Homo-oligomer: A and B are copies of this chain.
Amino acid sequence: MNDPTSQVFPVWLGGEWCAASSNESLSAHNPQTGEGLSECYPVSTWDDLETSLAYATEAFEALRLVAPQRLAQFLDDYATRIERDAERLAAAASIETGLPVAPRLKDVEIPRTVNQLRQAAKAAADGSWALPTIDSQNNIRSCHVAIGPVVVFGPNNFPFAYNAIAGGDFASAIAAGNPVIAKAHPAHPTTTRLLAEHCAAAVEAAGLPAATVQLLYQFSSDDGLRLVGDSRVAAFGFTGSRSAGLALKAACDAVGTPSYLEMSSVNPVVVLSGALEERLDDVVDKFCTSCLMATGQFCTNPGLVILIEGSNTDAFIEKVGKRFAETPGGVLLTQGVQASLAAGVAKVLAAGAEAVAGGGINSGPAISFQNTLLRVSGAKFLQNPEVFQTEMFGNASLFVVAADVAEVLEIIAHLEGNLTGTIFSASSSGTDEQDYQRIAPRLRQKVGRLNDDKMPTGVLVTAAMNHGGPFPATGHAGFTAVGFPACVRRFSMLQCFDGVRHEHLPELLRDPNPTGKTWRLIDGGWSQGDVATAAAATR
């Protein structure tokens, strides 16, 4: 029940900020102090979700008449509003997440978020994301098109860049022309509300349908399953835990709704002997920075390092262990993250790993855990590969010491799907190169992104990025959550127009190039030209 003396913030439905249909409220915590924050946010009942679905369905009808340039205008304007308010936004997010205002939030994550929204704007206005494909001789034309209302659940660890109302899934879904029902993460509702206020101003300024974007803060997991399984939901974007992701995926699968889920990943890193021989301290540095940055709370955190017994292996482990022990454990996002990290570490220790550094909770007001380095032999890993792949989300990693390359290959054969895989090898050709040739093809097939000699953290927003990977890292290995324009296609359907009269075609598929620079696959070749021009050129 709400405390009647405290104000509960409204939800944003159908273009209005309105009192939630709710019996409960939630407040976030400041993980630096452990204290509860004063702002109260509603836990909606089904009535709010039903309302959001009805509005989103209407908004989709209206959005189909909106020129993509207007979507671009909205995305650009929203980006600018966030940019202008970066200081206040970063401060709010820092209180809710414990992440530092600078450089992380203000200088890295907000600029990335702004950049993503602008890339989405560019993709929307340009239209090339839709892979327009034209067979001029037979007048058969197709492209990807908005699919319908999209529900987005954001994660705890990126209050801006993956926020359900401002991050990559949001920007992709809007760029394709879909309305979005966003669910805030309960760990940073105020950050989300501030974003939503900018979003609302931008929706209004662009004259988009009022329910193009809607915001709910929280609801029961049963209502969440009911929401994504509702026939009015056309697609679902999710970033979060495996257990929640799998339950939501099942609800979508049962009704044939495409879901794009980014779940857990331990991001295996293989360090070959030559790399340690050549640049041990450099690899120690790179690993420690990657694993401890933001208290390790990245989906691409290097949580599993595979080493081979050798003259430098123990020295490497020792140096990393020393650095972990010397460095104070950072602040974790929530008590849930802390509890889950503690449970993961305990599980891996119970299975027979030994602690090189850390392993326990840091006492004090801040929510924190010791920087934790665990170690296990390859042979022991292979006795229980599933348990040793338990994600320890946070500042922890498991080092697996294999007897030889053959054992490395066996370990890789037992790996689940991951977002990334990494190999460090000596820069000079030598035995590392032979090992690389044996290891890379097998690791390659288990991961969405392969890195040479660089740690997996740091996901550049570029067209060539793949932030995705085989199940259970994500729900479908063919899609990426980061990288325009490909990420936009997740929230689309393919539509073909067969023998359709020219005046009935969408602009993207008519003879004249819609923008003068949109890329279209015309009669087998990619072209920025008009249809007649291109067809004439290939004749």
Contact = CB atoms under 8 A, between A and B. Distances in A.
B135 A462 contact: yes
Interface in A121-173: 131, 133-135, 138, 140-142, 144, 147-148
Contacts of A61: 441
A525 B452 CA distance: 26
A471 interface: yes
Interface string A438-474: 0011001100111111100000101111101011100
A452 B441 CA distance: 48
A46 interface: no
Interface stretch (A190-198, A204-212, A495-503): A495-503
A500 B470 contact: no
Given A450-B500, A463-B135, A499-B451, A494 B479 contact: yes
B486 A453 contact: no
Given A452-B501, A494-B478, A521-B463, A445 B148 contact: yes
Interface stretch (A76-84, A253-261, A270-278, A379-387): A253-261
Q: Specify which of A131, A133, A417, A492 lies most central, judged by the most chain B CB atoms within 10 Å of its CB.
A: A133
Given A477-B147, A525-B519, A466 B494 contact: yes
Interface in A483-514: 483, 486, 489-490, 492-501, 504
B478 A495 contact: no
A112 B478 CA distance: 28
B258 A496 contact: no
A510 to B, nearest CB: 14
A524 interface: yes
A441 to B, nearest CB: 6
B133 A477 contact: no
A449 B492 contact: no
A498 B451 contact: yes
B462 A138 contact: yes
B499 A464 contact: no
A472 B256 contact: yes
A325 to B, nearest CB: 30
A493 B470 CA distance: 8
Interface in A243-275: 249-250, 253-258
A395 interface: no
Contacts of A453: 499, 501
A464 B133 contact: yes
B501 A478 contact: no
A363 B395 CA distance: 75
A329 interface: no
A521 B463 CA distance: 9
Contacts of A257: 471
Contacts of A526: 519, 526
A399 interface: no
A469 to B, nearest CB: 8
A496 B465 contact: yes
A475 interface: yes
A497 B450 contact: yes
B499 A452 contact: yes
A440 B65 CA distance: 13
A255 B253 CA distance: 12
Contacts of A249: 253
A208 B131 CA distance: 33
Contacts of A486: 131, 133, 494
A466 B133 CA distance: 10
Q: Specify which of A61, A131, A133, A493 lies most central, judged by the most chain B CB atoms within 10 Å of its CB.
A: A493
A476 interface: yes
20 contacts: A133-B463, A140-B464, A140-B465, A142-B466, A144-B478, A148-B445, A255-B471, A256-B470, A256-B472, A258-B478, A448-B496, A450-B498, A450-B500, A452-B501, A454-B498, A464-B496, A466-B495, A468-B494, A478-B490, A478-B494
Given A450-B495, A451-B500, A452-B501, 18 more contacts: A64-B441, A134-B464, A135-B460, A135-B462, A138-B460, A140-B465, A250-B254, A253-B253, A256-B471, A440-B504, A450-B496, A452-B498, A460-B498, A463-B521, A465-B498, A477-B493, A486-B494, A526-B526
3 smallest A-B Cβ distances: which pairs?
A256-B471, A466-B496, A526-B526
Interface of A: 61, 64, 131, 133-135, 138, 140-142, 144, 147-148, 249-250, 253-258, 417, 420, 436, 440-441, 444-445, 448-454, 460, 462-466, 468, 470-472, 475-480, 483, 486, 489-490, 492-501, 504, 519, 521, 524-526
